[in-house]
Structure 1
Amino acid sequence: MPERPWILFDIGGVLELVDDDTWPHQWWDRWRRHAGLSAEEFEARLAVADLPPIDIETGTGERFWGAVGRMLGIDTDDVAVMRADFWDAYCGTGNTELFAYIETLPARANLAILSNSVDGAREEEERRFGLSRLFDPICYSHEQGVNKPDPQAYLRALERLNARPDQVFFVDDHSEAIDGAAAVGIRGVLQRDNAVTIAAIEDFLVSR
């Protein structure tokens, strides 16, 4: 029996309609203004805040949000609102067109996720999108301890997939992440348009 191929997806900018290059700046600026801080004062406080690395460590969320509240000088109620606002911005909305196509793939391929992330993303994205219904494994940077495009991000994902690079096709919206995958032998497509991505996946599956 032929080996089943894997389709490996990023989340933000692929499965979720969100611009990861712009929303964090907009979100921080929104809460900087809410706290009544100038841009200069905010940058000075951020520089000494010593925020924990929520993108490559688990169990850091509570410490992070406590430190953010102290940095901005806002109370716990405001921190709770800020945190909810963060997840709304972080998750965006589901890419329903791409999800509809992905629903057709399990008969032909295994599905998995490799995503740069922050502590709490697994629970929040599962609640909103039910990702585990389609994807297994879901490889998050805060759980793997490394971000794309570090080669170790892909190699650790391959270990969890128990797959060779040539069995895997990767979809991401950042060219450096696609280049990082290529460096370890994983083919991929840069997500810009659903139709182009779907065609690239189909070409990969047909070539198997």
Structure 2
Amino acid sequence: MIKAVIFDMGGVILRTVDPTKREAMAKRLGVTRSELEAVVFQSETSLQSELGQLSEAGHWKAVLAYFNQPLDCYQDWYGEFFSGDAIDRELIKFIGTLKPKVKVGLLSNAWEHARQNLTSRHDFINIFDVSIFSSEVGLRKPDPRIFDLTLRQMGVAAGEAIFVDDFRANIDSAAALGLKTVWYQDRARAIKKITRFLNM
């Protein structure tokens, strides 16, 4: 019996819906949008910040240094880079409908201060019974230990939980532990698969 549904944040609940500003930034730097995003999200300093080993400011200054940009403008960069991101309100509504039946959790690889930054801009975190950010616990997906931690905090066994994420490596790690998984590709398909699991 399913007792919990655990959601990833970036790429699932919080997504880039308007890439215009990000593409303009990349053009100014003489790179593609995917190259810019790789430096921001996949560089060593990004991973360090997701593990709580480097401040968010330290990571952004490393990004700026990589692109030979002034180090004191990282807050402007942050604002422009994420200006096209938005919360999927329809998905949040769906998550709200789950709560009478199951616990809902948030599990995110996120830089330092992610919780504070999100709560200052958005109002969705309080809907979750448990929210875990990698930088706060020193573990990041796909490390199995962060799934174990999440399950313990939610008080459920692996076989009693569904995990939703847009990265295949994270899905595979969760599945290996026995969680039911939904590889997120779009909202409609994710909701359909979650509902199917809940009705089994």
Separation (CA, whole Å) in 1 of partners of 2:197 and 2:78: 40
Unpaired segments of 5 or more residues in structure 1?
A: 38-49
One-letter amino acid matched to 1:155: D
Q: 1:188 is matched with which residue: 157, 160, 181?
A: 181
Aligned residues between the structures = 187
Partner of 1:203, secondary structure, is: helix
Instruction: Give the percent of matched residue pairs that are identical in Structure 1 and Structure 2.
Output: 26
Partner of 2:97, secondary structure, is: coil
Q: CA 1:176–1:59 in structure 2 vs 1: closer, same or farther (change >3 Å)? A: closer
Bigger CA radius of gyration: 1
Equivalent pair of 2:2/2:198 in contact (CA under 8 Å): no
Q: 1:57 is matched with which residue: 52, 57, 65?
A: 52
Separation (CA, whole Å) in 2 of partners of 1:81 and 1:117: 19
Shift of 1:14: 0.9
Q: 1:16 is matched with which residue: 14, 18, 40?
A: 14
Equivalent pair of 1:4/1:109 in contact (CA under 8 Å): yes
**RMSD, aligned CA:** 3.2
Q: Once the two structures are superposed, what CA deviation does each residue of 1:46-71 show, in whole Å capped at 9, x if it has no partner?
A: xxxx8471111067123334555556
**TM-score calculated relative to the size of structure 2:** 0.77
Q: Once the two structures are superposed, what CA deviation does each residue of 1:83-109 show, in whole Å capped at 9, x if it has no partner?
A: 3224436xx111122122112111111
One-letter amino acid matched to 2:134: S
Unpaired segments of 5 or more residues in structure 2?
A: 32-43
Shift of 1:73: 4.6
Separation (CA, whole Å) in 2 of partners of 1:4 and 1:96: 24
Q: 1:175 is matched with which residue: 160, 168, 173?
A: 168
Q: Once the two structures are superposed, what CA deviation does each residue of 1:21-58 show, in whole Å capped at 9, x if it has no partner?
A: x99x969846745xxx9xxxxxxxxxxxx847111106
Equivalent pair of 1:56/1:142 in contact (CA under 8 Å): yes
Report 1:1-208 matches (<5 A): 5-18=3-16, 29=26, 32=29, 51=45, 53-57=48-52, 60-68=55-63, 72-74=68-70, 76=72, 78-88=73-83, 92-207=85-200
Separation (CA, whole Å) in 1 of partners of 2:120 and 2:28: 25
Separation (CA, whole Å) in 2 of partners of 1:145 and 1:75: 26
Shift of 1:17: 2.1
Partner of 1:54, secondary structure, is: helix
Shift of 1:154: 0.8
**TM-score calculated relative to the size of structure 1:** 0.75
Partner of 2:199, secondary structure, is: helix
Shift of 1:176: 1.6
